[in-house]
Amino acid sequence: MAYGPRFPFNEIAFMLLICAPDLISGQLRYSILEEKEEGAFVGNIAQDLGLNVRQLSARKFRLSSDDGGRYMKVSLDNGILSIRERIDRERICRQAEMCTVSFKTTLENPLEVYRGVVEILDVNDNPPTFGNGSIVLQTSEASAPGVRFRLERAEDPDIGINTVVAYTISFTEYFSIKTHRTESDVLIPELLLDKSLDRELLSSFQLLLTATDGGTPQRTGTAQILVTVLDFNDNAPVFDDDIYRVSVSEDAPHGTLVLKVKANDLDEGLNAEIAYSFSDVDLRRARHLFSLDPYSGEVRVEGPLDFEEANSYSLAVQAVDHGSPAMAGHSNVLIKVIDVNDNAPEIKVTSASNKIPENAPPGTFITFFDVIDRDSGENGQISCELPKNIPFSLQTSSNHYKLITSATLDRETISEFKLPILARDLGSPSLTSNKTIHITITDVNDNAPRFAESTYNVYVMENNAPGASIFVLTALDPDLEQNSYVSYSLVDNFIQNLPVSTYLAINSMNGTIYALRSFDYEELKNFQINVQARDAGVPPLSSSATVNVIILDQNDNAPVIVSPSEQSGSAEVLRRSAGQGYLVTKIMATDEDSGQNARLFYQMVKSTDPTLFTVTKNSGEIRTARSILQTDISVHTLVILVKDNGQPSLSSTVTMNISVLENSTEGITESSTLVKNSGYLSDPNVYLIIIFSCTSVVFLLIIVLLIGIKCKQDRSIIQGYNTPSYCYNRGDSQGTFNGRPAMEETLRYPGTGRVVRVPEPHQYSVCLSPESAKSDFLFLKPCGAPTSQAQ
Ligand SMILES: *[C@@H]1O[C@H](CO)[C@@H](O)[C@H](O)[C@H]1NC(C)=O
Ligand SMILES: *[C@@H]1O[C@H](CO)[C@@H](O)[C@H](O)[C@H]1NC(C)=O
Ligand SMILES: *[C@@H]1O[C@H](CO)[C@@H](O)[C@H](O)[C@H]1NC(C)=O
């Protein structure tokens, strides 16, 4: 038997014919299709071996062999080999190309053994099968077209043409099937990627793979191909918005949620896991103010916002996925900060203390100030107020203020202002602030010194001590400092022809008035002076007051008894017939003082017969107390005391003689003479001498004056104007000398207070040279005396 290449069925039959003679080798060969039913004819052994059919049973024709005997049998009747049991070629031979079942036939008498084989021919009785009904494939969506995936091939136990000859898949534009044969002639299917995948479009494919064999009828097997497209990070996260716009109040507290950004990533898994962050590195400040949660995308307030610093923020945000490489998406968050009235106005004063003179007219500029509010809109609009009822007002242009005076000022009323300036914005609630501006009103000399009264009465007791202060005048000046320094002076005036300065002096600093001389009430009862008070301002202001100096009487004069006169003597006569109450005489007395000091009382202090005469206390009348008796003496001597009512009182006495006449009218007896009290001259001759002397002196004086007038006329011609003759009035020994010239024609005798008009030619004057006026010593000479050195 030759094992050659595979032959078609017809060739096998032909071989049997040509091999039949090859009986010597005992080789029989048959072929039969598998899966033949029982009893199917395989071959006629008897015929092929040339055996006699009738001898078969005699010679115990039999089939012996393990598998041959199992699948086939021989018939003793006709020697035909047939199928005993259905033969499955694949079971016996698996995939072997040549599948044979060998057998052995035995004949006895003589023993003959023939061998043979039955070739089992394949029938397409098996479909292609895939080991696992489904094929799972995974591929990245990034795989490029042209990639091949090796597929599991289908098994077909048949052989030859009955095995798999082609693969196909269900239609898809992404994949196609390519096959190739291995060296061992096995058809290998491969899946070819025709088009780029996109997981986001199609994440998996289910394809039906069909394997087809070449038998007739054709048989097929299928399997599911499950292609899972794996994600590739080909999609960046994308934010919902290109720009997020949001507003937040500037007073939003820490942690306030501003907004939530959201990005989507079409990828999956890590490729779709997103972390948010700020992408702008420059905006350090903004990043301190806002936080961005990397997971939730929440933007929150992190730091204190200030509209005045920045009213909006633009934050660049990014979303980065966790793919490898990672991809990022970008967006912007525009945060608008809303102004809140969180800034109070601020008052900026250039100078907080200002000085302005009190005579500044209304409208005088004082100072500038600015008011600033860092808020905007209404929150930054400002109104500025001053207190009411003050002499100041504001002028404004935008937020620039000018403080000016609006009325006249008076430092003496208000010397200083502390102006609270209140600035208020129009926000709601509005905020305020205030600042105080100090304004000092400086003094202007607008007030003259003022005396409390316009007229003062000053009472001075006569006989005052020269140089003593008699009064203090005070004038007040409400101005300040120099403008209020008051000095006092006496206004030039003449009192009894003498300058006021000879009477009084005033302390210019404190207004104390001093009497320069001792006043005599009996000469000068009162006088008026004007005192001026003047301040030291520029220009100075002054005012004056009148001072009435009233000299008070002092009991410094004793009563003077006029009648009966001392000189003429007084002898009263009284008729003896005079009855009771007869007015003998009346004592006449005067007192230079006044008032009580001049009120006189009369009193009899001595009498030769106290019972005869009485004196009335008030009037000084001397009357008889009783009728005169024949027994009474004829001459009576009375001593009358006259006293004034001063304190202490002063008194004088007079002694008078009263002669009682017998009822005749004879003259005055020589004995009734008035006798002056001791101390007074009593000799009438002395009086006569005195009267004569006085007359002579007056006559002499007239002569002297006549000569003086002549001398004055001569001297005027010689001297001209420059050296006038000073004529000083001169009092008696009591007169004070004041060293001041008095060119008057009227002489005033200070000692008497009486004014005596003297005809000019008869002026009683003394000459004084200017040089000698400076010294206390005066040369008193009759004018025109040849010894005068004045010229
Ligand atoms: C295919 O085989 C795999 C193991 O290779 C198994 O896990 C799977 O369950 C099988 N599928 C079917 C449908 O039998
Ligand atoms: C001015 O400001 C002070 C504090 O600076 C405050 O006490 C006062 O009340 C304010 N005055 C007004 C009128 O607002
Ligand atoms: C006025 O000044 C004088 C001199 O300084 C002084 O002696 C006198 O006491 C003062 N008078 C008053 C009222 O101050």
Residue pLDDT, tens place only, 6-26? 434 444 444 444 333 334 445
In a domain, 680, yes or no: no
Report whether 761 contacts 778 (CB < 8 A): no
Domain carrying residue 460:
450-552
For residue 712, what pLDDT band results from cuts at 50, 70 and 90?
Answer: low
What is the Å distance from ligand 1's center to 227 Cα? 15
What is the Å distance from ligand 2's center to 81 Cα? 136
Do 664 and 562 share a structural domain?
yes
Do 563 and 540 share a structural domain?
no
Report whether 626 contacts 609 (CB < 8 A): no
Mean pLDDT of the chain: 80
Residue pLDDT, tens place only, 308-319? 888 888 888 999
Our answer on whether the CB atom of 133 is closer than 6 Å to any ligand 1 atom is yes
- Report which secondary-structure segment, H or E, holds 461: strand 455-461
Do 258 and 171 share a structural domain?
no
Rounded-to-integer distance, Cα 311 and Cα 247, Å: 10
Q: Is residue 726 over pLDDT 60?
A: no
Rounded-to-integer distance, Cα 447 and Cα 624, Å: 75
Which of 474, 507, 509, when mutated, tests ligand 3's pocket best, judged by the most ligand atoms within 8 Å of its CB? 507
Our answer on whether the CB atom of 472 is closer than 6 Å to any ligand 3 atom is yes
| 374-386 mean pLDDT | 84
Do 139 and 95 share a structural domain?
no
b/e for 366-381, b at 16 or more Cβ within 10 A? Answer: bbebebebbbeeebbb
Q: Is residue 723 over pLDDT 80?
A: no
Residue 387: nearest ligand to its CA? 2
Residue 224: nearest ligand to its CA? 1
Tokens (6 digits) for 374:
């860092």
Domain boundary among the residues 205, 231, 257 is at: 231
In a domain, 697, yes or no: no
Do 255 and 330 share a structural domain?
yes
Rounded-to-integer distance, Cα 91 and Cα 398, Å: 113
Domain boundary among the residues 311, 339, 367 is at: 339
| pLDDT value, residue 66 | 64
Do 193 and 161 share a structural domain?
yes
Considering its fold, how many domains does the chain have in total?
7
Do 754 and 723 share a structural domain?
yes
What is the Å distance from ligand 2's center to 346 Cα? 13
| pLDDT value, residue 170 | 93
For residue 689, what pLDDT band results from cuts at 50, 70 and 90?
Answer: low
User: Which of the 8 DSSP states describes residue 781?
Assistant: B
Rounded-to-integer distance, Cα 321 and Cα 269, Å: 10
Phi then psi for 375, rounded to 5 degrees?
-75, 170
Do 82 and 134 share a structural domain?
no
For residue 331, what pLDDT band results from cuts at 50, 70 and 90?
Answer: very high
In a domain, 147, yes or no: yes
Which amino acid type is present at position 408? T
Q: What is the CA radius of gyration of the chain?
A: 86
- Rounded percentage of the chain residues whose pLDDT exceeds 90: 23
Q: What is the CATH number of the domain that holds 410?
A: 2.60.40.60
In a domain, 311, yes or no: yes
Do 138 and 214 share a structural domain?
yes
Q: What share of the chain is helix, strand, coil (3-state, %, to 5)?
A: 15, 40, 50
Q: Is residue 637 over pLDDT 80?
A: yes
In a domain, 679, yes or no: no
Domain boundary among the residues 175, 209, 231 is at: 231
| 67-77 mean pLDDT | 83
Do 157 and 106 share a structural domain?
no
For residue 111, what pLDDT band results from cuts at 50, 70 and 90?
Answer: confident
CB atoms within 10 A of CB 99: 21
Which of 383, 424, 434, 437, when mutated, tests ligand 2's pocket best, judged by the most ligand atoms within 8 Å of its CB? 434
Q: Is residue 161 over pLDDT 80?
A: yes
Residue pLDDT, tens place only, 526-580? 889 899 999 888 889 999 999 998 988 888 888 888 877 765 556 778 888 888 8
| pLDDT value, residue 601 | 92
| pLDDT value, residue 192 | 94
What is the Å distance from ligand 1's center to 229 Cα? 19
Rounded-to-integer distance, Cα 401 and Cα 369, Å: 5
What is the Å distance from ligand 3's center to 472 Cα? 9
User: Which of the 8 DSSP states describes residue 155?
Assistant: B
| 90-104 mean pLDDT | 86
Give the sheet arrangement for strand 542-552, strand by strand. Answer: 455-461, 542-552, 526-535, 486-490
**Nearest residue (CA) to ligand 2, atom 2:** 434
Rounded-to-integer distance, Cα 8 and Cα 439, Å: 138
Q: Is residue 627 over pLDDT 70?
A: yes
Q: Which residues pair with 393 in a beta bridge?
A: 404
Q: Is residue 725 over pLDDT 50?
A: no
| 448-472 mean pLDDT | 89
CB atoms within 10 A of CB 454: 10
What is the Å distance from ligand 2's center to 380 Cα? 20
Residue pLDDT, tens place only, 186-234? 899 999 999 999 999 999 999 999 999 998 889 999 999 999 999 999 8
766 or 658: which leads in pLDDT: 658
User: Which of the 8 DSSP states describes residue 598?
Assistant: G
**Nearest residue (CA) to ligand 1, atom 8:** 132
Q: Is residue 772 over pLDDT 50?
A: no
| pLDDT value, residue 567 | 57
Report whether 732 contacts 745 (CB < 8 A): no
| 656-663 mean pLDDT | 82
b/e for 311-350, b at 16 or more Cβ within 10 A? Answer: eebebbbbbbbbbeebbebbbbbebebebbbbbbbebebe
Residue 345: nearest ligand to its CA? 2
Q: What is the full DSSP assignment across 165-189?
A: EEEEE---SSEEEEEEE-TT--EEE
Q: Is residue 591 over pLDDT 80?
A: yes
Rounded-to-integer distance, Cα 295 and Cα 275, Å: 6
Residue 131: nearest ligand to its CA? 1
Our answer on whether the CB atom of 512 is closer than 6 Å to any ligand 3 atom is yes
Q: Is residue 646 over pLDDT 60?
A: yes
Tokens (6 digits) for 725:
């003759």
| pLDDT value, residue 238 | 94
Cis check for the bond before 325: say yes or no (omega within 30 of 0).
yes
Rounded-to-integer distance, Cα 558 and Cα 556, Å: 7
For residue 283, what pLDDT band results from cuts at 50, 70 and 90?
Answer: low
| pLDDT value, residue 424 | 87
In a domain, 686, yes or no: no
Q: Is residue 781 over pLDDT 50?
A: no
In a domain, 693, yes or no: no
Rounded-to-integer distance, Cα 542 and Cα 539, Å: 10
Do 581 and 658 share a structural domain?
yes
| pLDDT value, residue 262 | 94
| pLDDT value, residue 570 | 63
Do 479 and 458 share a structural domain?
yes
Q: Is residue 333 over pLDDT 50?
A: yes
| 728-749 mean pLDDT | 37
| 448-459 mean pLDDT | 90
Our answer on whether the CB atom of 474 is closer than 6 Å to any ligand 3 atom is no
Q: Enumerate residues lining ligand 2, CB below 6 A.
A: 420, 422, 432, 434
197 or 737: which leads in pLDDT: 197
In a domain, 724, yes or no: yes
**Nearest residue (CA) to ligand 1, atom 5:** 132
Handedness of CA 283, 284, 286, 292 (dihedral sign): positive
- Mapped onto helix, strand or coil, the DSSP state of residue 703 is helix
Whether the predicted model's global pTM rises above the 0.75 cut = no
Residue with tokens 């720009």: 243
